Every structure is written in C-alpha cells, then in structure tokens.
Amino acid sequence: MAAMALSVGGHGALADTLQDVKSKGVLTVGVKADYPPFGYRAPNGDIIGIEPDLARDVATRLGVKVEFVPVVAANRMQFLGQGKIDLMIATMTDTPERSKVVDIIKPDYYAAGYNLMVPKSVTITSWDQLNGKPICGIQGAFYNKQVAEKFGAQVIAFTGVAEALTALKQGRCIGFLYDDTAIEGQLINPDWKSFGMPLPSQDSQPWGLAVKLGDTQFADFMAKTVTDWHKTGLILDLEKKYGISQNSKFVQDMHDKYK
C-alpha cells in the first residue's frame, strides 16, 4: 500500500522538474550524511563526499545552485515521492521492487556488496559462523533478510548508521552489517582502528540514482549525465579524491565501456 501511494504521488507530480528547478534556481538533492566517503559531514557541518560532488555536477550542468537534504534508507524514496527532493543520489541499490516506486536511472553509477565490520578481537572467518548471533543493521537495507535467512544471523535493524555503530560499541551485537564500501570508509577513521572486515563481500549489486516515477524528461537528462560521468572517468577521479585506494571494478568497467 505504501508503494502504491508513493507511485500515485509520483505520477501526480508529472510537472517538468527540469523547468521547475531552472525556475527556482536550486536543485534539491537527497544524499547520505552518515556514509563516508559517499556522503558525510565535514567538521564545519557541510555535507561532502562522492555523491554530493556528483550532485554539484548536475547543478552545474543545469546552471543552478544545489541544496542537500540528508536522507537515510528508510525515507529516501518517500522524500522523492513527496517532492521534498528533486533528485536522489544516496547509495541506493537498484532493485526491481524499487523501480516500481521511483524512476531509477540507467546506466547505474556504482556498485557494492555487503559485508560485516567486527572487532579485531572477534575471530570470525566464515559467514556461517553468524548463525544465531546478533548483528546490527540498518532499516531498509535489502540484504537484512538475506543474511538472516541464508546465514541464520539475528539482525537488529536501526534507523541510522550512528545508532547502529553505537550499539556495536556497546556490545549489543557482534558486528555491523552494511555496504562494503561504507565499511571501508569507516575503517579509515582512527576511531575504528580496532575493527576490521575479515569476511569476503557478498552479492555485489548496482547502485542507481533516482527521480520521481514518470518524470521522463528529467530521467532522460540524468541518463545522459550518468553516461557522461562514466565516459569521462569522473567517478574514478572522485574515488581517488575521497580516499578509496583502489578503483572499484564496476566503475572501471563502465569507464572502459563508455570512453
């Protein structure tokens, strides 16, 4: 019912977003603010990262300013359907179910699998060792159910990353289930030097940015924009800018395809 409501809301907003954005002179983009290096808070409070930089590129192409709205997995599609944001670039996995609620742009712009961040004091070498163990996760993550069913873990889902990481430090779970790229970003932080990611990543899935369902003109514009990002190697450059030591295979393959 929620998906149907969002779908109806999206179709009801078939106004030309491109024209609306140009008229108001501002592009409002939903991004993560708790997911380094893709979207996070700088010491001065500004939201920075790979995806905010991509959003700035979109605004530059449109000749407008950019405004960021922090989103999380549990509300990012709702914000788009409700018109609180014009565009969503927020580490969202491209799935058939989500494409019924929002227009997910092709080609996809990134890809990631899921993994587990655990204290180095915890000896764990196999996903099968999670059977019956409590692990912290994030509400709305598609792999929560998969890990629970496939490996028997007891997933405790929180509304945001900060809450899940606090629970991890408090010992309420043995590990933090999240995207492998985000875990790599956390492990760069000295605060997490006693933690690691010992298991192999699972189920790499593409990420898609999104516009309102049925917003055809904006979707076409964004499809051309993403294609250009891959062609020029912009995302490869942003990975290096934000400390990802080795470019992801997906982004490199897409650059080779479109260059």
pTM here is: 0.75
Q: pLDDT value at position 181? A: 84
Question: Which residues in the chain come in under a pLDDT of 70?
Answer: 1-15
Q: Which residues contact 259 (CB under 8 A, 6 or more apart)?
A: 230, 231, 232, 233
CATH number for 2-109+208-258: choose from 3.40.250.10, 3.30.365.10, 3.40.190.10, 3.10.20.30: 3.40.190.10
The domain 113-204: what is its CATH number? 3.40.190.10
The span from the CA of 57 to the CA of 131, in Å, is: 44
Tokens of 88: 């969503």
- Tell me, what's the pLDDT at 84? 97
Extended strands (E) in the chain: 26-31, 34-35, 39-41, 47-48, 65-70, 87-88, 102-104, 110-119, 134-138, 154-158, 176-179, 195-196, 202-207, 210-212
pLDDT recorded at residue 201: 86
Q: Give the pLDDT confidence of 124-151 residue by residue, as tens digits.
A: 999 999 999 999 999 988 899 999 999 9
Same-fold call for 2-109+208-258 versus 113-204: yes
Give the domain ranges of the chain: 2-109+208-258, 113-204
Q: According to the model, what pLDDT value does residue 10 have? A: 42
Query: What is the predicted pLDDT for the residue at 200?
Result: 86
The length of the chain in residues reads 259
Strand, helix or coil for residue 187? helix
